[in-house]
Amino acid sequence: MKASTSIDRRTMLKRLGAIGLAAPFGAVAACADSGRTSRFQPTATPKATTAAAASSMDHGAPLTGAAASQTAQGAVTLPFLPVPVMAPPITRNAPGEVLVELESVDVKGRLAEGVGYDFWTFNGTVPGPMLRARQDDIVTLKLTNKLGNNAGHNIDLHAVTGPGGGASLTNVGVGETKTFRFKATHPGVYVYHCATAPIPLHISNGMYGLIVVEPAGGLPPVDREFYVCQGDIYTPGKTGDLGHQPFDLASMADERPNYVVFNGAMGSVAGERALKARVGERVRIWFGVGGPNLTSSFHVIGEVFDRVATWGSLTSMAEHVQTVTVAPGGATMVEFGVEVPGTYVLVDHALSRASKGAVGELVVEGTASVPDLYAPA
């Protein structure tokens, strides 16, 4: 990737150091495989399956042994995955029908500067596209598992009422398609994710996103909407080890990620990919945590959230909030006005995670709109 189109790891460390967040790169070395097995842990190398087998078999990349230990490699040059698509606000005044088409896609992409990773995605991005419906809409969801993928998949949407949240109706082997329908009865912002065994592997590899169900009366208009999700990724060795890194089972089992990232990669919400607004505008951020393991303490340094969707509910708003706790499989919405120009840093306020990638930027341009709100004495 050209230097002009992204922010590299060295530059990010300098910026973190300037605000006191930089820490030595390096994660705890991966522990030995404990040997435990369940539907949450992989036991075999992936292979193409039929839909019937997809819900009962374990799928994964090479996880242990020689393949997982080969981390001393040269740097790889891969682009970031595309910026995830965000559905526009609902303008209808009555319930309707919504068609959602998702495709599971395996894709190689940039995890950090000089580091590549094999992502499993919905529609080729991490997170997958942000879906949107109105309360009481009928949503038809079509899920296709692209030919050439390495595993079976499905989808569990936390906005769905019914066993598995749609997972039992959407088990798709490689090359297959399944469709199901649901009524969006609960307004809020919800996580969706793949729920094929082993679930944490599929989520960590990138198979998660958000679905927003707007209340019947809609939401107040804002000037800018943004979409950010946090996830934890597990590789052998240390954070920043160069080369194409495999998934590591042992570190996932011990909940010790080498990367904790916004939108799939270190630097994915910074530099030319930063969020951008102008002084005087009102900003809304849809924020979710795919996980699979870590809770986020979402904070924007230099801002106070005017309104927060408590636990993701769009009918219960908290006001004047500094930091929002978002659990794995949880989501929120935050709103605030921007009155002072500059670069605002998005973090998980478990701040050691900043050096693992949980940092982003909101760049605000313009002239300060409120006298004496922020100035040197």
* Token digits of residue 103: 């495709």
pLDDT in the model for residue 46: 35
**Long-range contacts of the stretch 168-171 (C-beta < 8 A, 24+):** 168/55, 170/141, 170/143, 171/51, 171/52, 171/54, 171/55, 171/196
Q: What are the percentages of helix, strand and coil residues in the chain, rounded to 5?
A: 15, 35, 50
Question: Rounded to whole angstroms, how far apart are CA atoms 5 and 351?
Answer: 26
Rg (CA), the chain: 20
What would the DSSP string read from start to end of 69-127?
Answer: H---------PPPPPPPBPPPP--SS--EEEEEEEEEEEEEEEETTEEEEEEEETTBSS
Name the pTM for this structure.
0.84
Antiparallel, parallel or unpaired: β 296-301 and 282-291: unpaired
pLDDT in the model for residue 9: 54
pLDDT tens for 77-135 read: 999 999 999 999 999 999 999 999 999 999 999 999 999 999 999 999 999 999 999 99
pLDDT in the model for residue 14: 60
Question: Rounded to whole angstroms, how far apart are CA atoms 107 and 78?
Answer: 11
Question: Rounded to whole angstroms, how far apart are CA atoms 270 and 14?
Answer: 13
Residues of the chain with pLDDT under 50: 1-5, 23-71
Question: Rounded to whole angstroms, how far apart are CA atoms 212 and 361?
Answer: 23
Domains detected in the chain:
3-27+222-365 (2.60.40.420), 51-214 (2.60.40.420)
pLDDT in the model for residue 35: 33
Please list, in sequence order, all residues whose beta carbon lies within 8 angstroms of the beta carbon of residue 80, skipping any fewer than 6 positions away.
Answer: 1, 6, 109, 110, 264, 265, 267, 268, 273
